[in-house]
Amino acid sequence: MVDKTVPLETLLAGETATISRIGGHGPNVHRLEEFGLRGGSRIRMFRTGNPCILALGGGKVCLRCDPELRILVERAADTPPPVTVPGRPSPFSRGGR
C-alpha cells in the first residue's frame, strides 16, 4: 500500500486531515499528545505558516513546530481539496458580519 502521509506543513488552508504520526523529542511529543494532537486526531488547517492555526476538536490551536518535531498527516479522502484559491483566502470571502 502506498504511504499517503505528508508533513503537516504541506496542508493547504481549509484542508482536513488525520494525524498519523508525530516524531521528535519524547517529552515534546508527549506534550502534544496530552493536548490532543495525537495519532488518529482529525484536524483542519485553518491558517498555514509557522506558527499555524489548526482546528482540533471543538476549538482552534496555534502551533509552532521546531525542525526536530515532525507531524505527519494523511489527507482526508472524503474531502476534496478546497475549491477556493488555497493559501490565503480573502478575509471577507466567507461573508463575515
CB of 33 within 8 A of CB of 22?
A: yes
Site for other proteins contains 70 (CB under 8 A): no
> Do strands 70-75 and 42-47 pair parallel, antiparallel, or not at all (unpaired)?
unpaired
Q: Which three cell numbers stand for residue 46?
A: 485553518
Question: Which one of 51, 81, 84, 85 is in contact with other proteins (CB under 8 A)?
Answer: 51
Interaction between residue 95 and other proteins (CB under 8 A): yes
Provide the binding-site residues for other proteins, judged by CB under 8 A. 16, 25-38, 44, 46-47, 49-51, 53, 55, 57-66, 69, 88-89, 91-97
